[in-house]
Structure 1
Amino acid sequence: MLRSEHYLRLLPATTPAFAAAPAPFSCPLPYRGATRLRLPRTRTPRLRGEPSSTLRASAVPDAVAPLAPEMLQREVARTLADQAVARLGPRLLPSAVPEDVAEFRNGAGNALGSLDVRRGAPRSSIDFMLQSSLHCKVPNGAIDITSILIFLNTATDAPHFLLELIQGSPTSIVVVLDLLPRKDLALHPDYLQKYYENTRLDEQRAKIEELPQACPYRSPSLFVRSACSPTAVLVTIDCGQGGEGALEEIVQGRLATVAKDVLQIWLDSCADSTTEMDDTERDCLLKRDQIVRSKSIEVDLTASLPRMFDPDVSSRIISEIRKAFGVQEP
């Protein structure tokens, strides 16, 4: 949930959100060169457990509770989450997210979401795994944001994993996929080589950026941009008017495959990593992590969620994410 501010700042009801959203490329021809990662067609997945129409954080009766539409980006995220859980297994504790945060919606019924957080088990290098999904209707469409974050603790200095998919129209999607560095790469060239050069992550970035429908996405936050690695996938994929089929082909094809491969690289090179550090190094690492986490909440959540959800709902969500991030109230 680190990059949605670009879209969510457009959410006031009087704002035609999609007119202001990036539309950098227009090419309705589907890309057919990638191997398709076949994903099951199901109802919109919850972040934990079985699908349910009960979205508890609302005064609207359950009988009329709306469901978010089926979207391939959520199927991609669910497939990646299953891939991570299969590998991490006992290193993740069961979810302890309250029911009124696990699923939520606003009183008007035009915004709904889900959140799941699984903390790392004792003596594990996993700090937490966070999954979230947000759907918000606006006057001329809807905004959908799907996120997976897997953060490590100070048992290692290996990068964190981040995926965020932000869909602002049926034919375009913003993709943020990265292994977030935890050191200054210019000061630590061995770190750059170990986690980014040797793993050939730049080849994964190139597979997305070479798509004719892709162009660079730049967050309006300089801090957010500075937190990413040079191999980050930061693109808007825009298939132009009538390009719904082309976008679907890309999402379940090349995008799904690249995301799966990047996660596998993270699982192989980072998830099992341990690093010998003295107290000073560990303190610096912890301080850097805390700054990134605090700033992401400040830039994104506290400015955006209250525009989508009622104050009591947004405060519960932010409070639970602060708890996962280990960030106290300001």
Structure 2
Amino acid sequence: MLLCLHRMITLSHHSSLHHHNLPLQNFFRPPSSSKRSNARAAAAASSSMQSFPHLQPSHRDLMSDLLSAVEARLGPTLLPSSVPPDVLSFTNQQGTSQGALDIRSGAPDSPVDFILQSWLHCKVPIGDLNITTLFAFLNASVDAPHLVLEFIQGSPTSLILLMDLIPRKDLVLHPEYLDEIYDKTHLDKRRQALARLPQVSPYISSSLYIRSVLSPTAISVNIDCGGEGESGIEEIILLHVGPAAKDIVGIWLDLCTSRTRDLGEAERAEMVRRDTLIKNKTVEIDLAANLPRLFGSDVVDRIVREIQKAFRI
């Protein structure tokens, strides 16, 4: 959803007890029919969120692996999802566009602000469009970067790929941050390795703002397997995209825990200001501008409300 609509960890859906302090005796009462209906709807929506039903096998397996890795490291520091069923899973009136979105916020002692995961499947004039997103935003208790992974597939043989650790600081003013986050972790080697593949070419976003937010090691590429067919894109994901994505997520998870240090009040305030601007622009540029054309204003209003709640904007 940062650059089209965006997405996050393997989530088990939690019962209403996690959202409300219910008396213990309520556990032993059979739920009313309306509660059972709501629970079934939520469970179905949660299952849809996790299954990525429209992805090719290697892509689906990769997303499952990435979300499992994030859940294993950060899951205990996250609050249960409170996203309603009609946002966990949604469709337009014509049934030509479907999507799923889930968001989990960090607990009070977590470095995580929120983790968002989403998928979209839309029938457009050129064919089927699939967008899968993992977007993880950290809070001001750490200065580790944010994480964005987005896969935009407009045909069975091509893929636009965005993977980046979004800087929390101006890299010109803070060269030590550039060195510690991007140089010493050898992040650019993953970009270089993908760029050498003959099927890969640079993808340049039309948004100058989006390009200004990304780091110098951002992977933003178009993968076109052409005559190799679906097996070609499957092989690229399995042998090249998957290992790079897992490395980047692993580096980010390590930074989440290793960058816990005392931040000065001015430094923290500047980070919060920068983060808030990114959140506002994400909603303004991406969601409010693009989603209504695919899903209609009623559906988009529900989605935007949940995202604004998580973003606290």
Normalised to the residue count of structure 1, the TM-score between the two structures is: 0.79
Deviations 1:215-259 (A, max 9, x none): 111111101001000111010001114522111111122101110
* Counterpart among 61, 68, 74 of residue 75 in structure 1: 61
1:128 aligns with 2:114: yes
Alpha-carbon offset, residue 140 of structure 1: 3.5
Counterpart of 2:27 in structure 1 is: none
CA distance in 2, matches of 1:219, 1:55: 40
RMSD value, Cα: 2.2
Please state whether the residue corresponding to 2:117 is helix, strand or coil: strand
Candidates 282, 307, 310, aligned match of 2:296: 310
Q: State the SS of the aligned residue for 2:263.
A: coil
Greater shift in the superposed pair: 266-275 or 217-226: 266-275
Q: Can you list the C-alpha shifts for 1:151-206, whole angstroms capped at 9, x where unaligned?
A: 11000111011100000111111110000001110110100011111111011111
Aligned to 2:276: 290
Tell me: higher relative CO, structure 1 or 2? Use CA pairs within 8 A at least 6 residues apart.
1
Asked if 1:225 corresponds to 2:211, the answer is yes
Instruction: Give the letter for the 1:218 counterpart.
Output: I
Shift of 1:312: 1.1
Q: Give the match for residue 209 of structure 1.
A: 195
Cα distance in 1 between the residues matched to 2:159 and 2:194: 12
Partner of 1:111: 97
1:208 CA displacement: 1.3
**2:92–2:296 contact (8 Å) kept in structure 1:** yes
Q: Superposition pairs for residues 53-68 of structure 1, below 5 Å?
A: 68=53
In the TM superposition, residue 207 of structure 1 has moved relative to its aligned partner by 1.7
Equivalent residue for 1:264, pick from 246, 250, 267: 250
Residue number in structure 2 paired with 1:86: 72
1:276: Cα distance to partner? 1.7
Please give the alpha-carbon distance, in whole angstroms, between the structure 2 residues aligned to 1:73 and 1:55.
28
Q: What secondary structure sits across from 1:223 in the alignment?
A: helix
In structure 1, the partner of 2:312 is 326
Quickly say closer, same or farther: Cα 1:142–1:88, change in 2 above 3 A: same
TM (normalized to structure 2)? 0.83
Which protein is richer in helix relative to its size? 2
| Identity rate, percent | 48
- Deviation per residue, 1:21-51 (Å, 9 max, x gap): xxxxxxxxxxxxxxxxxxxxxxxxx96459x
Structure 1: stretches of 5+ with no match in the other structure: 6-45, 58-66
Equivalents in 2 of 1:68, 1:263: separation in Å?
Answer: 23
How many Å separate the matches in 2 of 1:69 and 1:119?
27
Q: Partners in 1 of 2:312 and 2:193 — Cα distance?
A: 35
1:40 corresponding residue in structure 2: none
Q: Structure 1 residues 70, 235: closer, same or farther in 2, change over 3 A? A: closer
Give, in whole Å, the separation in 2 of the partners of 1:91 and 1:49. Answer: 14
Matched ranges for 1:160-309 at <5 A: 160-309=146-295
CA distance in 2, matches of 1:308, 1:55: 27
The unaligned stretches of length 5 or more in structure 2 are 14-38, 43-51
Q: Which amino acid aligns with 2:111?
A: S
- Conservation of the 8 A alpha-carbon contact between 1:130 and 1:150: yes
